[in-house]
Structure 1
């Protein structure tokens, strides 16, 4: 038996054991406080294979990746690494396998679950945790571990891959891809000029009566409401939530459903992360009457990140840091743009689709992304106003 067969069997045993323990791959599970996690189960119909990662192929044409740093220029990976991934296997498993397959002496042992549950697991396991790297769907979960001193600082040359606002000030975690809050709208009903540039103006816009959709059990929505509480205060947020309900906003199970409903004309606009719109367009074509609008300098324009941290239990911190480095390679950043339709955070790699660049977005400046992990007050407010 060759080494690759042995590695595959070892990985299967690890995943089977995790599943038996009830901790693997629970998409859409509910966490304490009523939060529903990001499911990340839809790949937007992508037929890409691992061999195409880094090729620059996309529905929108060829891409030049030469300005980024390729994996070939990065340190080789050798050894075993246990990855706790709050990002779904359906979206990032291919990339992780691609990285692993580049190096004959490197093995990744992935454990997939919701980011929130993995944070709880890491805390419960304490210094007995086997985890080397935590890969999160949002900055709040990374911040929660950093606050408990469960991370260790990344090397400066890794941190330098992304702008400072997309990483922890102390270097304990780094963003690997980004998602902007956005407003999908149906072009048969609205034009871009009809969409307010202030999120707080939505309840006062009569044209939206019975025309809006949201997904309040979704964690990205709850992070957005948390940002509103930070920026506007609890009372203004309460009034906004009440006003939206009076406007007849429709509720959906997740934000992909919201984007599809807008495209179908079931509703005319909604509140989602930007990539759900891109996934619908990738499946249905750019002739679909669906476009993206953004508010400016407010909670509706929050730019959150998926990211990674090296844990304090890492057996080999250098190997773990170099694995994180690979998530910032030109190939990986292109993968995020093409396959998950997120924003690459390495400035040299452009986003895909009819999207403004990160520099053209107008997110609020007074938000520390790690603050978005403080959901308790948000859940209470959503329940008190009858949203949950």
Structure 2
């Protein structure tokens, strides 16, 4: 019941205020006495995630995580470079707990700048293949994407295709499309080539690619694939999920992937991935999040939203992705994409790839 104070009509203002304050103090004391035996409500668990992945490709996964665990998630979205610089600037005061980004080169750079805390997790080690995670446990792949040869169906006989290197041969003069050398996806592809072929042979291949270009490099893979479909070029190199998006809009889109199958390698694959931040005040919760992200529910959602592949073996893929057939993935350590990135960029520049 609410107490009502009745004051004499001529009570001085100061006295009236004093009486009101006294009543408030008494009410506070009674409230404190009544709540003394009740435990304080625990603050709900939450995570702050800095992410390069677009909201439409991540939010449904995070919503499923919250629904299953009760842990609220806040996100900040930006480019990998911007997020890494922001984390460095924020230092120990960052509100973030997890960094999610695309391309192993970006993850390697973040780790080299001391942003990730090494974690030990039998769950992550069981779900994420060793070549798709950091050897020191600083970051882990969460989805796998293939960057492969694309060709014009009906105009190119796939029997004439073989390896990435073969696209440098004279038969493809004026028929090759590439994306800009500034994109990290191409830098990672070349870094893995340097590891496999050595710098001299890689430079020779890159010069052959540049000599065979049908047009200037494209700003993104979608434009490249559309150029192949339009007859501007016959072959190119692109991430398969860009093709998946185009096929979803038009099932008859006239471009198909070809899977290189070199004896010592295979199809170049890269990842989107994440790590627990060293400055996080919620490392246990962040670790739990990464473990959940490597499980069946998250893997199926994360890969399916963008026509990618789960890193956890044995899970189903989107029907469009399944229609491309199976391939042999390069088993090399994806961390090489970061370690040899600077060398790759130098070779691409020397070859005249802009």
Shift of 1:177: 0.5
> 2-side partners of 1:284 and 1:154: how far apart?
44
Q: 1:227 aligns with which of 192, 198, 217?
A: 192
CA contact (8 A) 1:173 1:310 kept: yes
Q: Is the 8 A contact 1:295 1:362 kept in 2?
A: no
Does structure 2 retain, via aligned residues, the 8 Å contact 1:199–1:299? no
Q: Tell me by how many angstroms 1:215 deviates.
A: 0.5
Q: Match of 2:30?
A: none
The 5 A counterparts of 1:229-244 are 229-244=194-209
Residue 103 (structure 1) shift: 4.9
- The structure-2 alpha-carbon separation of the partners of 1:205 and 1:279, relative to structure 1 and needing over 3 Å to count, comes to farther
Mapped to 2, the partners of 1:96 and 1:172 lie a distance apart of 21
Please list every run of 5 or more consecutive structure 1 residues that lacks an aligned counterpart in the other structure.
1-76
Output the CA distance in 1 between the equivalents of 2:300 and 2:218. 30
Structure 1, residues 262-304: CA drift from partner, whole Å, max 9, x if none?
A: 233332211011211222111101x332211121347872211
> Is 1:91 aligned to 2:57, yes or no?
yes
In the TM superposition, residue 204 of structure 1 has moved relative to its aligned partner by 1.0
Question: Equivalent residue for 1:355?
Answer: 324
Map 1:38-77 onto structure 2 (within 5 A): none
Rounded to whole Å, the distance in 2 between the matches of 1:123 and 1:300 is 36
CA RMSD of aligned residues (A): 2.3
Residues 47-92 of structure 1, C-alpha deviations (whole Å, 9 max, x = no match): xxxxxxxxxxxxxxxxxxxxxxxxxxxxxx9512110112222322
Structure 2 SS opposite 1:378? helix
| Alignment-derived partner of residue 229 in structure 2 | 263
Q: How does 1:327-342 map to 2 (within 5 A)?
A: 327-342=293-308
| Ranges in structure 2 where 5+ consecutive residues have no aligned partner | 1-42
**Corresponding residue of 1:295:** 260
CA contact (8 A) 1:281 1:290 kept: no
* Count of aligned residue pairs for this structure pair: 304
Measure how far apart 1:253 and its partner are.
0.7
Query: What's 2:179 paired with?
Result: 215
Equivalent pair of 1:139/1:304 in contact (CA under 8 Å): yes
Aligned to 2:125: 159
From 330, 346, 350, give the equivalent of 2:312. 346
Counterpart pick for 1:193 among 159, 162, 174? 159
Question: Displacement, 1:165?
Answer: 2.1
Partner of 1:373: 338
Secondary structure of 1:134's aligned partner: strand
2 CA distance for matches of 1:155 and 1:180?
Answer: 26
Separation of aligned partners in 2, 1:318 and 1:307:
18
What residue number does 1:44 align with?
Answer: none
Find the counterpart in structure 2 of residue 176 from structure 1: 142
1:305 aligns with 2:271: yes
SS across alignment from 1:307: strand
SS at match of 2:166: helix
Paired with 2:120 and 2:307, the residues of 1 have a C-alpha distance of 26
Q: Distance in 1 between matches of 2:102 and 2:51?
A: 8
Q: Residues 314 and 356 from structure 1, CA distance in 2 versus in 1: closer, same or farther, beyond 3 angstroms? A: farther
Question: What is the alpha-carbon distance in structure 2 between the residues aligned to residue 329 and residue 94 of structure 1?
Answer: 15
Judged with a 3 Å threshold, the aligned counterparts in structure 2 of structure 1 residues 91 and 279 are, in CA distance, closer, same or farther, namely same
TM-aligned CA deviation for residue 142 of structure 1 = 1.9
1:227 and 1:372 in contact (8 A); partners too? yes
Task: State which of 278, 282, 303 in structure 1 corresponds to 2:244.
Answer: 278
Could you report, residue by residue, the CA deviation over 1:153-187 in whole angstroms, capped at 9, with x for unpaired residues?
14222331222222222222211100112111111
Q: What TM-score results when the alignment is normalised by the length of structure 1?
A: 0.72
